[in-house]
Structure 1
Amino acid sequence: RGSWRGGSEPILIVPGYRPGGGGFNAESGLERYPLSLQGGTGRGFALAGSIVRAKHSVRVPTVLTRREVEKVLDRLQGQVWLVASLLYGSGMRMTEGLRLRIQDLDSMRHEVTVRQGKEKKDRRTILPARLMVPLRNHLVMVRRQHAADLKIGAGYVEIPGALAKKYPNANREWRWQWVFPASRRYLHRETGVQRRHHLHQTVVQRAMKTAAREAGIAKRVTCHTLRHSFATTLLEKGYDIRTIQELLGHVDVAT
């Protein structure tokens, strides 16, 4: 049972209750303690069911014009330029783009397969035709790097757990290699083999921030900005909202 402590702003003391650090802990604590006030103080206490939840603030997404996107991309180079260009041309999230495997690219259909996206579902999106040549040239270098790794007994990458057990040699196969591999290998302690991870997201994030600043764009530009700009560009071209939703992997059209 709670008790009131006097003062200009009365405080309800609940023995044994310690709020945590989450956004709704105070509210959830009240739900766990459906208290009633006794003692004739004249003050009432709202039941948990009548609590009004505070609304989360909604930030309007930043969108770049096509010219602004060009100005940012013009200031990027190499692998980072290709990552950013693919994010803008496909609408993928940054992590989805960095986790692409060789087998996820379909140059014949001009499609990218996104495995286990944010909604834990696979989906297909656009592989821009204008990126086919630079992407092909990039993969030639990636394959050379992989061949060099194999020669020294490396060439391993992480693959989903169930597949790793079923196909123990699959993690050295070309089709499972990262489209955007990291420049350095690392030692996997559990197996003792040298693996290569995909390009780290901070490399792309920092490059994007620098490029936007050098381009003189007075907006908050991130990799996710390219995703919003992709959707806006499709809307301007007359694509229907349902198609855009499927390409982005959104469950709700409103998002």
Structure 2
Amino acid sequence: MMQHPLDDFLHYLTVERGLSKNTIQSYKRDLTQYMNFLENQEGVNDWDRVSRTHIMKYLYELNDKGRSRATVARLLSSIRLFHQFLIREKVAGQDPSLHIETPKKERKLPKVLSSKDVEKLLSLEAEDPFTARNKAMLEMLYATGLRVTELVSLKVSDLNLMMGFVRCLGKGSKERIVPLGDLARDAVEVYLRDYRSTLIKHKTTEELFVNHHGNSLSRQGFWKILKAVAQEVGIQKEITPHTLRHSFATHLLENGADLRAVQEMLGHADISTTQIYTHVTKSRLNEVYRSYHPRA
């Protein structure tokens, strides 16, 4: 039987790398699948018996199952980090993943909403605790480009409505400060002043956005709300929480925002991640040109 130091690895990611629960769960899923594969390989009863050939065979199997290049790249990244950890902890003496080339990811352009669709989505009226909360969340998501996990994790203390900004903890527990536009600030003020106390009832809770039980809203809960509102206002295209983040970045760049500033607001560690939005804006410019230029 091979030694399974997965719990130690996950503890290392939590304590020393400071990764989020969602990221830890992703590593756990990836590596559990990898270990299940290795257990069925003949002669692999020790971590030093794992070879480059085993890893390549695993990656080919994933490819045959129709996994995308992005998924295979992510799994290989998990495997690499895990094998480096095994060497560091002296569980293994060699890294079989060392010279395996990462598959190039398909560069898919993110889907964005038009400004008209955004206006539709944000036309929600704050008439009761639920519509007030929903409007505040949607206004904030579009105004800040927060990830949905960051949004539902916000505490009331993370807001500074007087100065017009919100503090959030992003990937790797990195803190960033993001400006809050006037319309989003107004919507959040209405929710806090007039409606949040009705939702939390007699509880004491720090969470900014809560469900009908007065507890923290989940990512899945927010997604259901978003889909329901989109359907209600007549948006036909598929929409996810990330669609608003993509729309936030794209619309800023279309209106002349600096790429570095957008990178900072999105919390991207590498500017190359933010640069995909410049491809989106160029793509949209091409569409406009072809549609309206008489000799296009």
TM-score, normalised via structure 1 length: 0.62
Amino acid at match of 1:15: G
Q: SS where residue 239 of structure 2 aligns?
A: coil
**Aligned position for 2:186:** 133
**Aligned position for 1:103:** 157
- Whichever structure has more helix as a proportion of its residues is 2
Contact 2:154–2:207 (8 Å) recurs in 1:
yes
Residue 224 of structure 2: which of 206, 211, 231 is its match? 206
**Aligned position for 2:147:** 93
Q: SS where residue 221 of structure 1 aligns?
A: coil
CA RMSD of aligned residues (A): 3.2
Q: SS where residue 171 of structure 2 aligns?
A: coil
**Aligned position for 1:165:** none
Structure 2 portions without partners, runs of 5+: 1-40, 63-71, 84-95, 126-130, 274-296
Measured after TM superposition, the shift of residue 84 of structure 1 is 1.3
Q: SS where residue 113 of structure 1 aligns?
A: strand
**Aligned position for 2:212:** 183
Amino-acid identity (%):
30
Measured after TM superposition, the shift of residue 48 of structure 1 is 7.2
Find the aligned partners of 1:53 and 1:250 in 2 and give their Cα distance.
Answer: 21
Whose Rg is larger?
1
Identify the range of structure 1 (55-64 vs 229-238) with the bigger mean alpha-carbon deviation.
55-64
Residue 80 of structure 1: which of 134, 152, 162 is its match? 134
Find the aligned partners of 1:53 and 1:127 in 2 and give their Cα distance.
Answer: 38
Structure 1 residues 24 and 111 mapped into 2: Cα distance closer, same or farther (>3 Å)? closer
Contact 2:139–2:187 (8 Å) recurs in 1:
no
Is residue 114 of structure 2 the alignment partner of residue 65 of structure 1?
yes
Structure 1 portions without partners, runs of 5+: 1-12, 32-46, 158-176, 185-195
Is residue 259 of structure 2 the alignment partner of residue 241 of structure 1?
yes
Measured after TM superposition, the shift of residue 237 of structure 1 is 2.1
Measured after TM superposition, the shift of residue 241 of structure 1 is 0.6
Find the aligned partners of 1:144 and 1:50 in 2 and give their Cα distance.
Answer: 58
Q: SS where residue 146 of structure 2 aligns?
A: coil
Q: Which has the higher contact order (CA 8 A, sep 6+)?
A: 1
Find the aligned partners of 1:241 and 1:203 in 2 and give their Cα distance.
Answer: 32
Q: SS where residue 215 of structure 2 aligns?
A: strand
Q: SS where residue 119 of structure 1 aligns?
A: helix
Q: SS where residue 134 of structure 1 aligns?
A: helix
Find the aligned partners of 1:235 and 1:118 in 2 and give their Cα distance.
Answer: 23
Find the aligned partners of 1:96 and 1:49 in 2 and give their Cα distance.
Answer: 34
Q: SS where residue 150 of structure 2 aligns?
A: helix
Is residue 166 of structure 2 the alignment partner of residue 112 of structure 1?
yes
Identify the range of structure 1 (89-98 vs 137-146) with the bigger mean alpha-carbon deviation.
137-146
Number of aligned pairs?
189
Measured after TM superposition, the shift of residue 71 of structure 1 is 2.0
Amino acid at match of 1:66: S
Find the aligned partners of 1:84 and 1:182 in 2 and give their Cα distance.
Answer: 15
Measured after TM superposition, the shift of residue 50 of structure 1 is 6.1
Q: SS where residue 243 of structure 2 aligns?
A: helix
**Aligned position for 1:6:** none
Structure 1 residues 244 and 58 mapped into 2: Cα distance closer, same or farther (>3 Å)? same
